[in-house]
Amino acid sequence: MLRPAILAIAALVLLFAPKLFAADKTPAAGESPAATNIDFTKQIQPIFMEHCAGCHGEKKGQGGLRLHSPDAIEVKVAKDEHLIVKGKPEESDLYKRLVLPADHKKRMPKKADPLPEKKIALIQQWIQQGAVYTVTATAKPAVEEGADDQPPAKPKEIPLPEVGAADAAAVEKLTAAGAQVTALYAGSQLLQVSYALRDEAATDADVALLAEVAEQVYSLNLAKAQVSDQGLAVLSQLKNLAKLHLENSSVADSGLSHLSGLASLRYLNLYGTGISDAGLKPLGGLKQLQKLYVWKTKVSYDAAKAMEQAAAGLMVDLGFDHPVVARKRVTKQLEQAKEQSKESDAEFKQAEETFDRAKKDHEAVKKRLDELQEKMDELDGKPKKEKKEEPKPDDKEPDEKQPDDKKSDDKKPDEKKPDEKKPDEKKPDDK
């Protein structure tokens, strides 16, 4: 009777097992990477938080590197193009420092065991796939120390646009011009295009090549580009553009007018450019804009904050070293230091009072001990100990005996005086 039942159960297991075990094919952090896409939130970020956040996290960012969120990583990538070279882990400092010899001074993590090979392989594959941050992830924005306002509200998730494949010949032209062209993620038709690693800065002619893939460009890096206002006009055609790097480029206030119609733009980096408050006006209508970096520009504090207040969910980052931001940060730190000083003074005074009480108690206990010991000695018939009188502060110590220079007995040895009598002259014998 049992055998048919066992066979029936085995059949059910065989039927449903594939569905049960295939429920989640995404490897966890530390597991060997499969052929599927690497999920930054589930696989890469946990590695960074476990092994790197102590020195490169939200509270501490050695060397200006913070790895606790995609936005924080992008801030560093904007300044250091070699940190992550998308599609090329062997050229990415982030990966190269993980595989240095254990005794190498630049190996990461410092003063710790090397990362397990499986975790290093995950990071390698993530960079190989284009270092894509999980699209559905809405990590907390990176806020530099000294920012006086709270982080903006978490923006609503925006679905990725669906587009057809880019023309292969157009992509080939971009590659031939020195641009890096990679898919946003494996299997995606959206593209990431970067001229940042070219030996020469991108020009108007290079940017013009984007027109043939305008629909597919989702992320564009024109850092250090030397383009005119007319050359930037092609950007107005990139309707699906969500991320744009223009840091350290020649862009001017007038050139930003070509961005006013980019309704999908969420990230714009203008670090180290010559833009001013006037350049922000065309950007005021970008409802999806969430991150705007204007470090080391001519943008004023008041204009930046006014733009933040006018656009829900927007963070305008002036940089921690902006004069107004720095003053607000130092003012806040000074207030905190004053409060800490007051608390410290109160604790010190309390400690002094406690010490004085303890000293008095100690002296009283010692006195009581001496009295009881004296009584015990009397009971035992021991002679009473004479108390040594301690010298009073007013008692002068006897002067040391100074040698008397005028003592009669301390006579100096007589100097031999010459005899006043002249020696007798030898007279010649009278013969």
pLDDT the model gives residue 143: 43
pLDDT the model gives residue 170: 96
252 close to 282: Cβ distance less than 8 angstroms = no
pLDDT the model gives residue 320: 80
For the structural domain made of 168-319, what CATH number should be given?
Answer: 3.80.10.10
Closest among 311, 288, 349, 332 to 152, alpha carbons compared: 311
Q: Which residues on neighbouring strands pair with residue 243, listed in sequence order?
A: 219, 267
Residue 141 in this model has a pLDDT that exceeds 60: no
Residue 40 in this model has a pLDDT that exceeds 70: yes
pLDDT the model gives residue 345: 92
Average of per-residue pLDDT across 6-34: 45
* Average pLDDT taken over every residue of the chain: 80
User: In which band, very low, low, confident or very high, does the pLDDT at 34 lie, cut at 50, 70 and 90?
Assistant: very low
Average of per-residue pLDDT across 324-335: 84
User: In which band, very low, low, confident or very high, does the pLDDT at 58 lie, cut at 50, 70 and 90?
Assistant: confident
pLDDT the model gives residue 30: 45
Residue 239 in this model has a pLDDT that exceeds 60: yes
- Extents of the domains making up the chain: 22-128, 168-319, 322-368
Residue 288 in this model has a pLDDT that exceeds 80: yes
Buried b (16+ CB within 10 A) or exposed e, 49-77: bebbbebbbbeebeeebbbbbbbbbbbbb
pLDDT the model gives residue 32: 43
Residue 426 in this model has a pLDDT that exceeds 60: no
Q: Is the dihedral of CA 392, 396, 398, 399 positive or negative?
A: positive
Q: Which tens digits make up the pLDDT trace of 380-398?
A: 888 877 766 666 666 555 5
**Residue 78, token pair as written in the block:** 């904007």
Residue 371, Cβ density class (10 Å: 0-12 exposed, 13-18 middle, ≥19 buried): exposed
pLDDT the model gives residue 269: 95
Q: Which tens digits make up the pLDDT trace of 90-120?
A: 889 999 889 888 778 888 888 788 888 889 9
What does pTM read for this prediction? 0.52
Rounded Cα distance, 77 and 127, in Å: 13
pLDDT the model gives residue 14: 47
What does the DSSP assignment read for 305-356? HHHHHHSTT-EEE--TTSHHHHHHHHHHHHHHHHHHHHHHHHHHHHHHHHHH
User: In which band, very low, low, confident or very high, does the pLDDT at 139 lie, cut at 50, 70 and 90?
Assistant: very low
Average of per-residue pLDDT across 307-323: 88
User: In which band, very low, low, confident or very high, does the pLDDT at 147 lie, cut at 50, 70 and 90?
Assistant: very low
What does the DSSP assignment read for 359-408? HHHHHHHHHHHHHHHHHHHHHTTPPPPPPPPPPPTTPPPPPPPPP-TT-S
Main-chain phi, psi angles of 394, to 5 degrees: -80, -20
242 close to 265: Cβ distance less than 8 angstroms = yes
Check residues 73 and 33 and name the one with the higher pLDDT. 73
Closest among 161, 95, 107 to 131, alpha carbons compared: 95
Average of per-residue pLDDT across 350-354: 92
Q: Which of 229-243, 276-290, 372-386 has the lowest mean pLDDT?
A: 372-386
Percent of the chain with pLDDT over 90: 41
pLDDT the model gives residue 135: 45
What does the DSSP assignment read for 266-310? -EEE-TT----HHHHGGGTT-TT--EEE-TTSS--HHHHHHHHHH
Check residues 384 and 308 and name the one with the higher pLDDT. 308
Residue 427 in this model has a pLDDT that exceeds 90: no
**Residue 71, token pair as written in the block:** 């936005």
Check residues 431 and 228 and name the one with the higher pLDDT. 228
pLDDT the model gives residue 92: 92
pLDDT the model gives residue 137: 36
pLDDT the model gives residue 102: 73
Average of per-residue pLDDT across 239-268: 95
User: In which band, very low, low, confident or very high, does the pLDDT at 399 lie, cut at 50, 70 and 90?
Assistant: low
Average of per-residue pLDDT across 27-36: 49
